[in-house]
Amino acid sequence: MSSDATVLYDAPGPRGRRVHHLISAVVVALLVGIGYLIYVALDEQGQLTAEKWEPFTESTSWTTYLLPGIQGTLIAAAMSIVLALIFGAVLGIGRLSDHRSVRIVSGTIVEIFRAVPVLILMIFMYQVFAEYQVFKSQYLALAAVVVALTLYNGSVIAEIVRSGINSLPKGQTEAAKALGLRKSQIMLTILLPQAVTAMLPALISQMVVALKDSALGYLVNYIEVVRSGQQLGAYYGNYLPALIVVAVIMIVLNSALTVVATRLEKRLRSGRKGKGAVSPLSVDASTPGVDLK
């Protein structure tokens, strides 16, 4: 056996390495060929000329199309993320309730809205709000996008919250009950602060999903960055450059959100480590159920 072998597989011999190199070369050649064909097709359509990119050097293209679209995306994403976190926390805690009726209602809401595609939710909410005039006409699209994103992402976050709390050691809950703490006190002061730290990576991912899904609002006439990019491409006849710029903008926004959330996660984790363990002597003698004699 070769010295490069691992416990999972044997390292390929000379013939195997030649086969791997040949396959890699063929795949690279195919990718280069496909890329060249795409380039030729776009060049024939005039989509790669410098004239197609000139509109992005003009301030009117940004003030009229892109900046309002970015603002709409950020507004819808920020509102839906905040509301989804609240909605998800309530449902997640509700699924852990001691009351069977609360568990059933919370579980039903989570399973329904988690199973329905967010695009269908947006269209449905838009039609309902328009039919019953729940919001003014200028806010219909925004309300439909925010409510749909809140219901869907909140249902997913509820499962994240439930799993995060269930992942904590049961001994903490039992010790808190022995000290005479109520279920609400245990949840708010002991379980949730620890669970949030464990849930942050999944919550960050769901925030990014909410930001990206806000682009679906263009189907209900909401002014966001994708719709603005399409309008700009239709006006100047440069759809491909417009979509590329929109893609870059979405990458920047998602990267910025990820960086901010990751820094917050590190700060919370370092803060919890700095606090250290709670000393038994720090328990007040007035705590119900505790006898320090």
- 236's CB contacts (< 8 A; 6+ apart) are 52, 55, 61, 242
209-232 core/surface letters (b: 16 or more CB in 10 A; e: else)? bbbebbbbbbbbebbbbbbbbbbb
Q: What integer pLDDT is reported at residue 291 of this predicted model?
A: 45
Q: What integer pLDDT is reported at residue 114 of this predicted model?
A: 92
pTM of the model: 0.78
pLDDT digits (tens, 9 = 90+) for 15-70: 888 888 899 999 999 999 999 998 888 888 777 788 888 999 899 999 999 999 99
Q: What integer pLDDT is reported at residue 115 of this predicted model?
A: 92
What are the structure tokens assigned to 38, written together? 């795409």
Enumerate domains of the chain plus CATH numbers.
Answer: 72-224 (1.10.3720.10)
Q: What integer pLDDT is reported at residue 173 of this predicted model?
A: 81
pLDDT digits (tens, 9 = 90+) for 251-281: 999 999 888 888 877 887 776 665 554 443 3
Distance CA 175, CA 278 (A): 13
Q: Which helix (H) or strand (E) holds 234?
A: helix 225-236
3-state secondary structure of 276: coil
Distance CA 10, CA 27 (A): 24
Packed helices 140-166 and 67-94: angle between N→C axes, nearest 10 degrees: 40
Distance CA 81, CA 120 (A): 19
What are the structure tokens assigned to 193, written together? 């602060």
- CA separation, residue 264 to residues 11, 77, 162, 200 (Å): 43, 18, 21, 9
Q: What integer pLDDT is reported at residue 171 of this predicted model?
A: 83
Q: What integer pLDDT is reported at residue 84 of this predicted model?
A: 95
The dihedral over CA atoms of 192, 195, 197, 201, expressed in degrees to the nearest 10, equals -130
Residues of the chain with pLDDT under 50: 1-3, 5, 277-293
